[in-house]
Each structure stands twice: as structure tokens, then as C-alpha cells.
Amino acid sequence: MLAGQAMPGKSEAMASPEDTIKSYAAVGMVYDSNFLRLSDQVDPVLATGKRNKDDFIKQVSAGVAMDWTVSRQHLIIKADTNQNWFQNFTALDYLGWDAETQWNWQIGNELNGEIGYGNNQKLGSFARINTLVPNLQNNQRYFANGGYLFHPRGKIKLGVFREEYLFDDKSRQISNNIEDNAELNLQYLSPTGSILGLRLLTTDGQYPQRQFTAASTQDNAYTRVNTALTYDWHVSEITRFNGWFGYTQQHYAHLSARDFSGVTARFDLTWRASEKTQLELVARREISQALNLFTNFVLIQGANLNLTWQPTAKITLMLPASYQQQTFLGGGDINAAGSAQQKDNVGNLGMSLTYSPLANLSVGTVLNYEKRESTDPLRTYESQSAGINIQAAF
């Protein structure tokens, strides 16, 4: 997947329990008017050695998914690979992939869970680094969890997972990050299928390529604790609410003055207005990885709205829109560059149209407009993008 841009109409190679193996191949092209998300105040020649900020990216991809059910055990394996070529920023050409294996295990009627591993390689977004560097990123995830149905209406779940964000280029490896997580969930299962729960999530994180000294402007380790009320409310056959509301505390190993604590929450609404129309709304206040040179994390407050209309079985129209307020954390009031801590407002408007003339063939197009206003004028930008993708399933 391209940085900050999904190929139009491209779907994961999925398989249902009735399909043992399913595969696909696709070709696509995306035009981006400002791929590195450069401000108008930045001379692209000085920043990149190129006169133009735009680029055409060509991609070919293929994937396969295998789905097996043996007795009460369920095994899923998915693999996707994609080759990407840039017309302007040719140094960014890369081979990407996304692979995952997962075992959904079941013992009797009371014990079940998941064990799995995922690995994906992609070009990271340039929205927060705004410079021409090979921003190739490899992400790995290991996970295992289990649940015990101790009562027809009560379940307890325990899980552990490890996430690794590793950069290929030496100039970016200072942002390499590893998080080890442990999670406890206590859930009430209603007769209607809704779930109400309490969750405790603890995180131990580190930046293995950073050596902390008295002169360091960034920490190299932290812990985070999130306690939350979780919910998945099936209001009716057409309406569903799910998400969580909680409190997050993040403590740095050395620079405790930069600790963060506050309310965090996520609210998801899915409403199927008709057989052809669906509305999805996501509102959130969450901490996310910043993965730039000056701060470790960003507090994101905002909302995403997506309207899907399928007038016929062959045509699907999606209209996504989003708005975010981003406050960068872990850098103090002054960042390592000597300027005030960055705060951004980011908006996106898009349109995606997919046409499937045959059951195994689809053509997708996408348009997107993105704008960021920042307290740092060198981080303010606009970009427009358009793309097309043709995919065949087998």
C-alpha cells in the first residue's frame, strides 16, 4: 500500500469457510499532487532535489487466502505482495507485502481464542517527516489470547501481543519501536448478542536504537495503562454501536515531565439505512504513534464519516470524509527543532467508485483531497490525488 493512499477498489484476498482458496491479481496507478506533503513555503528543489512535488505511482499486486475448518478448529492464512514504481521520486520504488496466519481455536463449549502472526512491509506516510528519505517500514505482530465462558452471560478473556515497527533506512531507525502488551477483558453477554465489558490494557514500549543521555531530547522507553468500559450494542438489525470509553496514563522512563494522562474513547456507529445504503461514523480521542524525528506520540481527536451506496450489484459508491485535531506528545512545550510543540488540523474528502462487470472482475477509481493547517507553517500543506485499479479474482 502506498504511503497515505490506498489503491482504488483494491480488496483483501478473503475466503469464506465455503471457499478453501481464493486469489487475486491487480494493476493500478495513482497520481498525487504533493506526495511528500510539502508546504508551499518549502522549495521542492532544496528539500528533494526535484522541481516537482507530484508523482505517478504504478503498482502490480497479487494475493491469496486459504481458509480451513477442521472439526472446531479454524485456520486462516493470507498473503499479499505488491511492487511499486515512482515516476518522479524513483528512489522510493519498493516491494511491499502483507502476510498473516491465524488459528481460531476452540476446546469444548467454554474455551476459545486466537493465536497468530502478521507481517507487512509498506512505504510509511510522509505527512510527518516531509522529506525525501526511503521511509520503508516493516511491521510485525505476534498475538495469543483465550477466553473462558464461566457463565452463559459471563466471559473472561486474557491476551498478550507484541508489535514491532522497524524502518529499513538507517536515517529512520531511531524511530524503531517495540511494544509488549497484556490485556484483560471481563464481559457480559446479553441475550440479544450485545456485549458490555471492562478492559485493562498495559503496554511496555521501547525505542531500541536510542541511547538516553543527559543531552537527549527524546526518551527511549515508556509504559502505558489504559482502563476502559467497552461496549458492542446491537440496537437492531440495521443499527450497531461499539467502542470504548476509558482513561489512559503514559509514563516515560526518564522524562517524566512529558507524561500524559487523560480520557480516551472511541465510538463507532454502523447504520444500514436501506438495502443499498450504509452509514459509518467513527469518533475518537486516542493516542497514536507519531513516528517522526521530534515527538513519539500524537493525541488524535476527530471523526470519520463514510457513506456507502450500492445502487446495483455491480456498482458501489463510497464517500469518505474525516477531520482530526492532532496534538504531538512527548516533546515537551518545545520540540527538538527549537519551535513550539506542533498542533495540526487535518481534513480529508474523498470519493471511490467500483464497477464489477463480472463476478470476478472489478474496476475502481478514487479521488481524494487532503489539507493540513499547522502551528508550524512549514508543515501546512494541501494535496489532491486520483487513481484507478483493475482487479481480477480467481
Contacts of range 359-363, beta carbons closer than 8 Å, 24 or more positions apart: 360/392, 360/393, 360/394, 361/390, 361/391, 361/392, 361/393, 362/9, 362/11, 362/390, 362/391, 362/393, 363/9, 363/388, 363/389, 363/390, 363/391
CB–CB of 51/31 below 8 Å? no
**Residue 393: strand, helix, or coil:** strand
Contacts of 230 (CB under 8 A, 6+ apart): 185, 187, 195, 196, 197, 198, 199, 243, 244
Q: How many whole angstroms separate alpha carbon 386 and alpha carbon 146?
A: 43
Q: What is the pLDDT of residue 340?
A: 61
Q: What is the pLDDT of residue 289?
A: 75
What's this model's pTM, rounded to 2 decimal places? 0.87
E strand or H helix at 44? helix 44-48
Residues 171-189: tens digit of each pLDDT: 999 999 999 999 999 999 9
Contacts of 332 (CB under 8 A, 6+ apart): 255, 257, 258, 341
Residues of the chain with pLDDT under 70: 1-19, 291-295, 330-340
CB–CB of 326/346 below 8 Å? yes
